[in-house]
Amino acid sequence: MYVIITYDVGEKRVHKVCKKLREYLTWTQNSVFEGSIGKGKLTRCMHELDGIIHADEDSIYLYQVNNPNHIQKKVYGQEKSFDDLFL
- Report the interface residues with a copy of itself, using CB under 8 A: 4, 6-9, 28-32, 46, 49-50, 53-67, 70-80
> Closest approach of Cβ 79 to a copy of itself, in Å?
7
Task: Render 42-60 in DSSP notation, one character per residue.
Answer: HHHHHHHHHHHS-TTT-EE
17 within 8 A of 43, measured Cβ to Cβ: no
Question: Is 8 marked as a binding-site residue?
Answer: yes
> Closest approach of Cβ 77 to a copy of itself, in Å?
4
Which residue numbers belong to the known binding site? 8
Which residue numbers belong to the known binding site for Mg(2+)? 8
